[in-house]
């Protein structure tokens, strides 16, 4: 693989790893953050923790420890509601947030975001061709992702969430203009019970042009979590030498 598409954005290398805090409770999330220490700088807090209570107090707890925060709630509602939600979130010190939906929803979020960077979801990495057929999307997955990426850029979103399988295509078409956050990173082959159907390795995602990698289960389920996080940090750093 050519390194043509490797990110040229001035992002500190150790911030390119985003740890997904996909755990049931705030105390478990706090314990995981403390266990990982300086091995992880950036954290994704999603719907599971939102439903556990004290979500915003936990964000403040993370920010007090100089961590960066990615709010992954995939806001999807009427445009005015999404705009107000993004405006409220922009006052919380959050760094990244996801939205879903059509052009008018993206426009409302882009207009209200302030310093918050808004990311449009393209196609969830848990979906494959059969799932998209069931949802009524008859186009090719890659064309769906590229279409949404182009619209997000035109409308004023800061970036997108995309499988690493489509990132090189996005970079070829749009260059380095958008932030690309890639979930579904797997340092080893997928297990049979893995719900990420379009996963890629660390090296493949970075070489394809991802700016940030979201990693959850491989770190969370490791025997030595901090060592696994540092291993992934080393894999990322080696590609930016």
What is the rounded distance in angstroms from the CA atom of residue 137 to the CA atom of residue 145?
Answer: 11
Look at residue 56 in the predicted model and tell me its pLDDT: 96
Confidence grade of residue 191 (pLDDT, cut at 50, 70, 90): very low
What is the rounded distance in angstroms from the CA atom of residue 241 to the CA atom of residue 235?
Answer: 11
Look at residue 195 in the predicted model and tell me its pLDDT: 46
Q: Which residues belong to the active site? A: 74
Confidence grade of residue 136 (pLDDT, cut at 50, 70, 90): low
Q: Which domains does the chain have, with CATH numbers?
A: 13-238 (3.20.20.70)
What is the rounded distance in angstroms from the CA atom of residue 45 to the CA atom of residue 237?
Answer: 24
> Which tops the pLDDT comparison, 134 or 24?
24
The model's pTM is 0.89
What is the rounded distance in angstroms from the CA atom of residue 40 to the CA atom of residue 46?
Answer: 17
Predicted confidence (pLDDT) per residue in 91-106, tens digit = 999 999 999 988 999 9
Q: Is the pLDDT of residue 189 over 50?
A: no
Residue 37 DSSP symbol? G
What is the rounded distance in angstroms from the CA atom of residue 190 to the CA atom of residue 199?
Answer: 8
Q: Is residue 183 within 8 Å of 211, Cβ to Cβ?
A: no
What is the rounded distance in angstroms from the CA atom of residue 104 to the CA atom of residue 107?
Answer: 5
> Which pair of tokens denotes residue 134?
């069931």
């Amino acid at each position: 693989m050519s390194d043509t598409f490797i990110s040229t954005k001035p992002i500190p290398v150790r911030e390119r790893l985003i740890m997904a805090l996909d755990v049931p409770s705030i105390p478990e999330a706090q314990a995981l953050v403390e266990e990982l220490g300086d091995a992880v700088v950036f954290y994704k807090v999603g719907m599971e923790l939102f439903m556990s209570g004290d979500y915003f107090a936990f964000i403040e707890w993370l920010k007090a420890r100089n961590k960066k925060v990615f709010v992954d709630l995939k806001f999807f509602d009427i445009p005015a509601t999404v705009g107000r939600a993004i405006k409220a979130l922009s006052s919380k010190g959050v760094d990244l947030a996801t939205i879903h939906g059509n052009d008018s929803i993206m426009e409302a979020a882009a207009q209200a975001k302030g310093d918050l960077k808004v990311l449009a979801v393209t196609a969830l990495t848990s979906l494959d061709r059969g799932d998209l057929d069931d949802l009524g999307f008859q186009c090719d997955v890659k064309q769906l992702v590229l279409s949404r990426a182009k619209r997000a850029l035109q409308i004023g979103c800061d970036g997108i969430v995309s499988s690493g399988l489509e990132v090189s295509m996005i970079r070829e078409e749009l260059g380095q203009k958008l932030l690309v956050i890639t979930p579904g990173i797997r340092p080893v082959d997928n297990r049979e019970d893995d719900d990420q159907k379009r996963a890629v390795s660390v090296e493949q995602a970075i070489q394809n042009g991802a700016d940030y990698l979201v990693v959850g289960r491989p770190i969370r389920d490791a025997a030595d979590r901090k060592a696994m996080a540092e291993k992934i940090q080393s894999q990322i750093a080696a590609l930016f030498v």
